[in-house]
Amino acid sequence: MNNTDTICAIATAQGGAIGVIRVSGPEAILITSSIFTPINGQSLDGRKPYTLTFGKILSSEGEIIDEVLVSVFRAPHSYTGEDSTEISCHGSSYILQQVMRRLIECGCRLAEPGEYTQRAFLNGKMDLSQAEAVADVIASSSAATHRLAMNQMRGGFSQELSALRDKLLHLTSLMELELDFSDHEELEFADRSELSQIANEIEQVIRRLAQSFSVGNAIKNGVPVAIIGETNAGKSTLLNALLNEEKAIVSDIHGTTRDVIEDTINLRGITFRFIDTAGIRQTTDVVESIGIERTFQKMSQADIVLWMIDSDSEVDMEGLKDEILPHCEDKNLIILFNKSDKVSTERCDTLRQVFAEVDAPKLFLSAKQRQGMEELEALLVETAALPEISQNDVIVTNIRHYEALVRALESIHRVQDGLLMNLSGDFVSQDLRECLSHLAEIVGGAFDVEDVLGNIFRHFCIGK
C-alpha cells in the first residue's frame, strides 16, 4: 500500500438517488479538476476549503457524464489529513463507474478496503482505537451501540487511556529517579506508601475498564441466551415466535434439532442473541449426541438460560433437574413451562411445587399460541439488566482492547505486589514499562523510554 498515491473510491451504497466518490492524496484536487468543468469557470485549485462547486464531469471525448457538486478539503483539515475532494453525482451505477474510470485514467488509484481510515490513522487524525470505532459506528444496530461507538470515535476511550498513561509515566519517573539516585540517601522523591497509592489508583481504573467489557460485549454483539430443555419441549417454536419467522424446523419427531441455531433480535432497545439447542435426552444416535454435547457448551457461553419444560410431559423432572441445574450455576436462569394451554390448573400447581426450591423466575406460556410472549420479553430485558448508555460513557467493546487491558492489569498487580514486598526498583520499573506498553497497544502507539526521560526533565528538574 503506497500512501503517496492519490486514491479514489465510491463511498455510498448502490441504488440510492445520490452517489458520492471520495478522492484523497497529494494530487486529489488537481486530478479532480482535470475531469471537472465548473459552471462559474473558477478552477478547483483556487477554491477555498469546505466549499461546494457546481459543474460537469466530462468523458475523454468531451461528452457530459453528469452534472455534479464537488466539495474541496485541504490538508490537514480533512478526514484523511490529506488534500481531498468529494464528488456528489446521481446514484446510477453507470455514472459512478464512468466517473471512477475518468479519475483512474487521470492518475488516481482505486482505494483498498479501509485505506481512507488507515491514512487518517497514519496522518495522526485519529488513534487506532478511534479508527476501529469507525467500523462500529457503521455497523451500529441500536441506540446503545451507536452511542458507545460514537464516544470511542470521538476519543472518549483515548482520553481515559491518556490520563492513565500520564499517571503511569509519573509513577515510572519516580521509580527511575529512585534508581538513579539510590546512592544519595538524603534525596527522597516519593516514599513507597505514596507510590503504592498511585499504583492503586491506576489499578482501579484499568480494572474498571476491563470489567466493562462484559457489558460492552453484550451491547455490541447481543446478550447470549441459550434455549435448552428436553426434546419436543417447544424450543424451536419459541425461537420462531421470538424472531417472528420460521427460522428453526418444528416437528413432533423427537431430536429434530441436532445442531445449534442462532439469531439476534432487538427487544426494547437491547440486542439478544438467541441460541436454539438440541433437546436433552438419553440417545444412542451419534449425531444427536454431538448436538446435546454442544448444548452444554453453549450453556456455558450464555448469560441467560431459558429452560423450556413441556408442561404436559411425563418426563422424569427430578432426573432432568439433576442433569441441567449443575450447568446453570452462575447463570441467569429462567424456567419456562411451555404448552400451559394444554394442562389443568392442578398440573400447573404441581410443576410449581416440583421446582419450588429452584431460585429462578418461572413463567407459564404457550410458544405455539404466542401466549405469554410479552411477559417473557419484559423478563429478558429485566434479567439482562444492562445500564442506560450515554455518549459520555467509556465502555470497552473490542476484544483486542479487553485483552490488552487484562495484560496491563496483570502488570500493575505485579507492581503493587513489588511495592508491598519492597522489591528492588529494577523489577518494579520493568512491570511498569510492560503496563505502559500494553496500554499503548490499544491506541496503536509504542511505549518509548524517551517518554520517561521527558517526564523527568519536565517535572523533576535536578540541579537544572
pLDDT in tens, 439-451: 999 988 665 545 5
The better pLDDT of the pair 101, 187 is held by 101
Say if 131 falls within a structural domain.
no
Residues 303 and 406 in one domain: no
- Percent share of the chain, pLDDT over 90: 48
Is the pLDDT at 276 greater than 80? The verdict is no
Residues 167 and 248 in one domain: no
Q: Supply the pLDDT for residue 292.
A: 59
CA angle 291, 293, 299 (to 5 degrees): 100
Is the pLDDT at 281 greater than 70? The verdict is no
The model's confidence at residue 72, banded by pLDDT at 50, 70 and 90, is very high
Residues 261 and 303 in one domain: yes
Among the candidates 333, 360, 384, a domain finishes at 384
Tell me, what CATH number does 367's domain have? 3.40.50.300
Residues 332 and 194 in one domain: no
Bridge-partner residues for 338, per DSSP? 310
Residues 269 and 172 in one domain: no
Residues 307 and 372 in one domain: yes
Say if 136 falls within a structural domain.
no
First to last CA, the chain: 47
Among the candidates 73, 96, 122, a domain finishes at 122
What is the Cα 124 distance to its own chain's centre? 22
Say if 129 falls within a structural domain.
no
Is the pLDDT at 219 greater than 70? The verdict is yes
- Percent share of the chain, pLDDT over 70: 84
Residues 325 and 377 in one domain: yes
Q: What average pLDDT does range 275-280 have in this prediction?
A: 68
Residues 175 and 289 in one domain: no
Residues 338 and 452 in one domain: no
Average pLDDT over the chain, rounded to an integer: 84
The model's confidence at residue 319, banded by pLDDT at 50, 70 and 90, is confident
How far apart CA 183 and CA 187 sit, in angstroms, is: 9
Q: What average pLDDT does range 93-111 have in this prediction?
A: 96
Say if 389 falls within a structural domain.
no
- Residue span of the structural domain in which 317 resides: 220-384
Say if 151 falls within a structural domain.
no
361: preceding bond cis by omega (within 30 degrees): no
Q: Supply the pLDDT for residue 38.
A: 94
Is the pLDDT at 42 greater than 50? The verdict is yes
Residues 283 and 224 in one domain: yes
Say if 410 falls within a structural domain.
yes
Residues 276 and 184 in one domain: no
Number of domains comprising the chain:
3
Give DSSP secondary structure letters for 275-310: EE-PPP-----HHHHHHHHHHHHHHHH-SEEEEEEE
Bridge-partner residues for 276, per DSSP? 227, 261
Tell me, what CATH number does 419's domain have? 1.20.120.430
**From start to end of 175-282, where are the E strands?**
223-229, 261-267, 270-276
The model's confidence at residue 459, banded by pLDDT at 50, 70 and 90, is very low
pLDDT in tens, 324-378: 888 888 889 999 999 999 989 999 999 999 899 999 999 999 988 899 999 999 9
Place of cell 490520563: 163
Grid cell, residue 148, equals 458507545
Tell me, what CATH number does 81's domain have? 3.30.1360.120
- pTM of the entire predicted model: 0.77
Instruction: Out of 36-40, 63-67, 177-181, 193-197, pick the least confident.
Output: 177-181
Say if 2 falls within a structural domain.
no
pLDDT in tens, 226-267: 888 887 788 888 888 888 866 544 444 444 443 457 788 888
pLDDT in tens, 146-157: 888 999 999 999
Say if 147 falls within a structural domain.
no
Grid cell, residue 321, equals 433437574
Residues 77 and 103 in one domain: yes
Among the candidates 105, 122, 139, a domain finishes at 122
Q: Supply the pLDDT for residue 221.
A: 86
Instruction: Out of 9-23, 69-83, 199-213, 270-284, pick the least confident.
Output: 270-284
